[in-house]
């Protein structure tokens, strides 16, 4: 039996056992059994295959699986692009601009060529005063979407002072 044939037979068995969840050590032990007990030994030497040989097989098998997965993903993506283009072609014939726009957007998303969405965060800057320090009128103004009057110099907060953001000054436990 030639080297390639031996390797193919061993790798098929390693792959079968790996799929069943066996570790490299366990696979090496199973293959090291006598042939009449289900083992698989090197037919040229009669010796069991080493753990490093089994480990190399597992790496090669994993690389093959990865290539197959990559090819499958590319194949599916290609099929989806062809379907979208066919749907867009039919939408052009019907004059369905909504469907055309949708298929263009879906294709861009599928291919990863869509324009990044810019997200803008807006908000209102509030005084550093805590809610406990606001008057009822100020709280109602905020709730109604209004703005607070500008801070007076006495409203400014100093780090570690009684008005710090921990909600209780140095007595509150988290003083700066």
Residue 54 confidence (pLDDT)? 93
Model confidence at 96: pLDDT above 80: yes
Helices (H), the chain: 3-19, 24-31, 51-94, 97-111, 136-143
Mean pLDDT along residues 165-174:
45
Tens of pLDDT, residue by residue over 31-49, are: 999 888 888 888 888 889 9
Q: To the nearest whole number, what is the mean pLDDT of the chain? A: 79
Alpha-carbon span 151 to 118, nearest angstrom: 32
Mean pLDDT along residues 11-28:
93
Plot region of 131 (φ>0 → left; ψ -120 to 50 → alpha; else → beta): alpha
Residues 2, 10 contacting (CB under 8 angstroms): no
Residues 109, 116 contacting (CB under 8 angstroms): no
Residue 123 confidence (pLDDT)? 64
Q: Lowest-pLDDT range, 29-43, 84-98, 136-150, 162-176? A: 162-176
Mean pLDDT along residues 84-103:
93
Residue 126 confidence (pLDDT)? 54
Model confidence at 111: pLDDT above 70: yes
Residue 166 confidence (pLDDT)? 46
């Amino acid at each position: 039996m030639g080297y390639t044939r031996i390797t193919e037979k061993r790798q098929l068995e390693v792959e079968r056992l790996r799929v069943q969840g066996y570790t490299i050590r366990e696979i090496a032990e199973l293959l090291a059994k006598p042939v009449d007990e289900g083992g698989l030994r090197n037919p040229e030497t009669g010796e069991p295959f080493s753990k490093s040989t089994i480990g190399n097989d597992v790496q090669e098998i994993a690389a093959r699986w990865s290539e197959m997965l990559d090819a499958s993903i590319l194949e599916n993506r290609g099929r989806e692009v062809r379907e979208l283009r066919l749907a867009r072609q039919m939408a052009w014939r019907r004059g369905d601009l909504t469907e055309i726009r949708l298929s263009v957007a879906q294709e861009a998303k599928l291919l990863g060529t869509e324009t990044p969405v810019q997200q803008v965060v807006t908000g209102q800057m509030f005084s550093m005063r805590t809610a406990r320090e606001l008057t009822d009128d100020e709280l109602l103004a905020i709730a109604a979407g209004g703005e607070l009057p500008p801070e007076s110099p006495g409203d400014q907060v100093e780090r570690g002072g009684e008005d710090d953001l921990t909600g209780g000054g140095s007595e509150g436990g988290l003083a700066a």
